[in-house]
Structure 1
Amino acid sequence: MGATLRAVRAFVLLSGFYLLGLGLLALLGAVDWASWVWAPAAVRLKIFVLTVVLAIPVVRGMFMLRTPRDGEPGGLLVSEADEPRLWATVRELAGQVGTRAPDEIRLTPDVNAAVSEDARFLGLLGGRRRLFLGLPLMAGLDEAGLRAVLAHELGHYGNADTRLSALTVRGRVQVGRMIAMFHAKADAKVAQERARQEKKSEKRVAKGKSAKEVDTTGTGVTYRVMAKIYSAYGRLYLRATLSGARRQELAADLAAARIAGRDATARALREIHAIDAAHDFYLSSYATLGTEFGLLPARGEVFGGVRHLLAARAGELAGLREELPQEPASPYDSHPPVAERVARIEALPDDGRSAEGTGPALGLLTDPEAALAAVEDVSLTPEAQRMRRLAWPELVHESMSARVAQGAEELRTAAGGAAVTLPGLLDAIDAGSLWEIAGRLPKSEEAAAASGRVAREFARPALRRGLSAMVTDELLRSGRARWELSWSGPATLHLADDTADRLPAALDAATADRPDTGPLRALLAPAAPATAH
């Protein structure tokens, strides 16, 4: 389907939104006319009020709502002087695709590449073009893979996909806002009716009568019916536009295979799937490990640190590249399944071009470290930028240590508050207060109902966990324990001397039926200085 026909289809679908509104207004007008002719005067007035109330949001949706203008595009704007190699590569690929190069390149913190265009006249006339390129994506690709990705995105320009996106998005936004408006009005009616009934019940109770149960069944039903009508059209709109979007992705894949090579394009798609999964894990387990405590990695490492993870977990990533998800295609997906896209590309005839890259994609940047830091500056919130920055080893140690201290809070509270020290707790245990403290710990309903030895067995694991956290916190503060960073697995706690061997038995002794804190006290005692011979 050519650009002109796709523009006509997008315009017809958007027009359908307005035609639906006109149809509903005509229906409401017909109801008013019928009530005027046949309904009694009292009923006629109620119908008039109802149709006017329903007509107002329809009219607002048709003539008063406007798709909000986008704000400043995100990412870091880089000029040709800033990044000459990247711009030269993009211009070269645009020439091979047979399309105009973008007017802007913006570096972003995402595992993604995308293009946009400020098109005019229903998408028939082009406008300013922007290419968005994620640095974490570049961190996981070589130059051959990046060229395939760029050829794919530029293929969207060549197929005029970006010209029509604003028109189709406007229709989705308009329908979605109408649905949300009707649901909001229905919810407001329910809240109003609930408040009215609750106030009435309060008056009944004040008079010594029993309160009636609040019942809002049927309230706001007309608004919800209107929302369902627009929802049905919205599903039709999404199916029609997103099926076209999936075809556009497949066409862009073919452009990438033609320009960058079959094998490089298929490998890039497999690589992106693996990078995306690794990046999600990296953000949750590494980059944001210390944000709860006001800590962030060193400048440039928030988005750039994923490179360390990708290098350390090559074996896991190889498995992700081979085991592509075979999720069923949904009519509401904007992209075909990755497995289908890869299969289509790999089924193309061998073009004789190798899939091997010529170097890391970040090598196309003049100064990758500076670019990673600059993208942080324009992407992180002001609150995040005020956080304390630490090198990775210190970040892991301080963040994990803070979590250990956090894990001891329940036991500290049960023992008397945050000011309770470990020696003070051990003194309380020696004084016979262990099970009294255990009784103040949070517990399940089953544990709360237990007594005697059964209650102790319920409480013992929580006691042991809390005491272990307090002991570990003490060891960390004294320098006898340290958390160590690992990019290939979880952070590990290293304890000095033979502490790791002695600690389990000492904890068991302190939480036994007849507690003995001696082993713990001996373990926590400072090591005796070596004697010279």
Structure 2
Amino acid sequence: MGASLRALRALVLLAGFFLLGVLLLAVLAGIDYLLYLHAPSALATKLYVVSVLLAIPVVRGMFMLRTPKDDGQGGLAVTEADEPELWRTVRELADQVGTRPPTRILLTGDVNAAVTENARLLGLLPGPRHLYLGVPLMQGLSEAQLRAVLAHELGHYVNHDTRLGAITARGRTQLFRTIAHFEERAAKTAGRERARQEKRNAKAEAKGRKTREVDTGGAGITYRTMARIYTAYAHLYFRATMNDSRRQEYAADAAAARIAGRDATASALRELPSLDAAFSFYKDCYATLGTSARLLPPRGEIFGGFDRLLTARELELAGLRAELPTEPVSPYDSHPAIADRVRAIEALPEDGRVDEGKGAATGLLADPARTLAVLEDVVLSEQARAFRRTGSWEELLDAAMSARLASVESPLHRALGAYTGEPPTLPALLKVIDDGQLWQLAQRLPLSEEAASATGRVFREFVRPVLCKAINGMVMAELSARAQLRWEFSWSRSAIVHLPLGPDGTELDLEAAVDAATADVPDTAPLRALLSYGHTGGHPGGFTDGLTDGAAR
């Protein structure tokens, strides 16, 4: 479908939204007229009010809402003076694609690249163009792969994808907002009805009368009905526009393969899911490791560390590249499945362009380290920028895990406090165990129905794993408070904690000590010996099992 036909269909769909509003207003007006002719005046007046309340969101959706001129996506704007090589590459690719280059390039902190155009008159006139380029994406791609990504994004300009997007975005935004208005009003109506019924039940209960079950099923039904009407049109709207979007993606892929090469384009597409998964993992397990303790990695390392993780976990990433997502695409998804796009590119004839641009894409940046540091100031919130910077990743891990262990409060802590009436400390727990009351204490833990009904050995088998885990955590917290733990940081595997060495130079066996304390006949001597030795000294020694999936989780 050509640009003209797509523009016509987009306008028809947008006009359909306004026509739907006109029809609904006409129906409401017709009902009001019938009420005026045939209904008692008191009833008619009440229904007039309902009609007006229903008409307000329709009118707001039609005339009072406007699509923002900017999509609101933030980033670090870079000029040609800041990044001459990046701008040169973008201009060169725009010329090869056959379109004018963007007016602004903004570097972002996610694994993505996108283009927008603030077109005027619903896309009939061109406007300023913005290119958003994720620095983590650049960190994971070669220069040739990045050229393919950029050529793909610039290809969207050729077929007026971004300009026509203004029309579809207008309809999409107004549909979402109109539906939200009706659902919000339905929720408020249901809330008022719930409050009314609960107040009525409270009065009945105070007088000793029987209360009724709260039922708000009929509250807000007119608002929900109107929302369903618009939702049905939204399904039609999105199916039609998303089909166009998927065709546009295939066309942009073809442009990228023509300009940057088949192999570079296919490999760039293969990288996207693995990089997205890797960066999410990196953020969760590394970059935000210390946020609960108001700690940040060294300056420049919030994004800089991602380079090292990609290098250390190359084998894992290779497996992700080989297993592309194959799940069916929703009719409302704007992009085809990555696997389908890769197959389409790899089906193209070989072009002999296999040895181009092997260097890292971040080589296009004038000073990558400086850019990574400056980007942090743009991406981080004002609150996060006030966090303390640690001197190294090792310091961050140690401080974050110490803070995390110090704040641990398991169900065992709460049960122990309730059982003894004293602060839930490790010495208090050991006394309970020595007094032979461990299993009575365990009955105060949150238990499944099956566990709660069990007795004897069966009960002990149910609760022993929970007890072992909780006691292990209490002991680790105690050793951490005594500065007897040291965490080993790693980019390639889980963090490893070093425990003190015993008198014979071997690692203290925390697992065995906890197992002895939770045996059928509990024995706290090994655990007391471990804590006594940890208190008097010892040197950091052997490894325990990795406790987390990343630096720490």
Taking structure 2 as the reference length, the TM-score comes to 0.88
Q: Which moved more, 1:28-37 or 1:87-96?
A: 28-37
* CA distance 1:437–1:147, change in 2 (3 Å): same
Q: Percentage identity across aligned positions?
A: 60
Alpha-carbon distance in structure 2 between the residues aligned to 1:229 and 1:87:
47
Q: Does 1:483 align with 2:484?
A: no
| Unmatched tracts of structure 1, length 5 or more | none
- 1:456-514 per-residue CA deviation (whole Å, 9 max, x = no partner) reads 44443333323322333344444543221222221122334355463333223333344
Q: Which moved more, 1:79-88 or 1:520-529?
A: 520-529
2:524 aligns with one of 508, 517, 529: 517
**Matched AA of 2:6:** R
Alpha-carbon distance in structure 2 between the residues aligned to 1:146 and 1:138:
7
Taking structure 1 as the reference length, the TM-score comes to 0.91
- The answer to whether the 8 Å contact 2:406/2:481 transfers is no
Instruction: Tell me by how many angstroms 1:409 deviates.
Output: 5.0
* CA distance 1:371–1:20, change in 2 (3 Å): same
Q: Does 1:505 align with 2:526?
A: no
* CA distance 1:151–1:293, change in 2 (3 Å): same
Alpha-carbon distance in structure 2 between the residues aligned to 1:321 and 1:411:
43
Alpha-carbon distance in structure 2 between the residues aligned to 1:110 and 1:378:
12
- The answer to whether the 8 Å contact 2:67/2:169 transfers is no
- Residues matched between the structures, number: 530
- The answer to whether the 8 Å contact 1:3/1:124 transfers is no
- The answer to whether the 8 Å contact 1:135/1:304 transfers is no
Equivalent residue, structure 2, for 1:301: 301
Equivalent residue, structure 2, for 1:467: 471
Q: How does 1:178-197 map to 2 (within 5 A)?
A: 178-197=178-197
**Matched AA of 1:252:** A
Alpha-carbon distance in structure 1 between the residues aligned to 2:37 and 2:514:
87
Instruction: Tell me by how many angstroms 1:111 deviates.
Output: 0.1
- The answer to whether the 8 Å contact 2:405/2:477 transfers is yes
**Matched AA of 1:149:** V
* CA distance 1:203–1:270, change in 2 (3 Å): same
Q: How does 1:7-406 map to 2 (within 5 A)?
A: 7-39=7-39, 44-68=44-68, 70=70, 73-354=73-354, 356-390=356-390, 391-406=392-407
Instruction: Tell me by how many angstroms 1:101 deviates.
Output: 1.0
- The answer to whether the 8 Å contact 1:136/1:304 transfers is no
Instruction: Tell me by how many angstroms 1:227 deviates.
Output: 0.9
Alpha-carbon distance in structure 1 between the residues aligned to 2:300 and 2:424:
40
Secondary structure of 2:127's match?
Answer: coil
Alpha-carbon distance in structure 1 between the residues aligned to 2:538 and 2:141:
54
- The answer to whether the 8 Å contact 2:60/2:178 transfers is no
Instruction: Tell me by how many angstroms 1:257 deviates.
Output: 0.7
Instruction: Tell me by how many angstroms 1:433 deviates.
Output: 5.4
- 1:143-175 per-residue CA deviation (whole Å, 9 max, x = no partner) reads 000000111111112222111222211211101
Alpha-carbon distance in structure 2 between the residues aligned to 1:282 and 1:528:
35
Alpha-carbon distance in structure 2 between the residues aligned to 1:528 and 1:50:
77
Secondary structure of 2:493's match?
Answer: coil
Secondary structure of 1:96's match?
Answer: helix
Alpha-carbon distance in structure 2 between the residues aligned to 1:475 and 1:444:
31
- 1:398-434 per-residue CA deviation (whole Å, 9 max, x = no partner) reads 3334444444655455445996654565455445554
Instruction: Tell me by how many angstroms 1:141 deviates.
Output: 0.3
* CA distance 1:199–1:478, change in 2 (3 Å): closer
Tell me the C-alpha RMSD between the 2 structures: 2.8
**Matched AA of 2:474:** M
Instruction: Tell me by how many angstroms 1:228 deviates.
Output: 1.0
Instruction: Tell me by how many angstroms 1:223 deviates.
Output: 1.5
Q: Which moved more, 1:463-472 or 1:219-228?
A: 463-472
| Unmatched tracts of structure 2, length 5 or more | 540-553
* CA distance 1:293–1:9, change in 2 (3 Å): same
Alpha-carbon distance in structure 1 between the residues aligned to 2:365 and 2:472:
49
Alpha-carbon distance in structure 2 between the residues aligned to 1:207 and 1:358:
82
* CA distance 1:321–1:520, change in 2 (3 Å): same
* CA distance 1:37–1:284, change in 2 (3 Å): same
Alpha-carbon distance in structure 2 between the residues aligned to 1:118 and 1:144:
29
Alpha-carbon distance in structure 2 between the residues aligned to 1:424 and 1:371:
53
Secondary structure of 1:188's match?
Answer: helix
**Matched AA of 2:363:** G
Alpha-carbon distance in structure 2 between the residues aligned to 1:213 and 1:290:
47
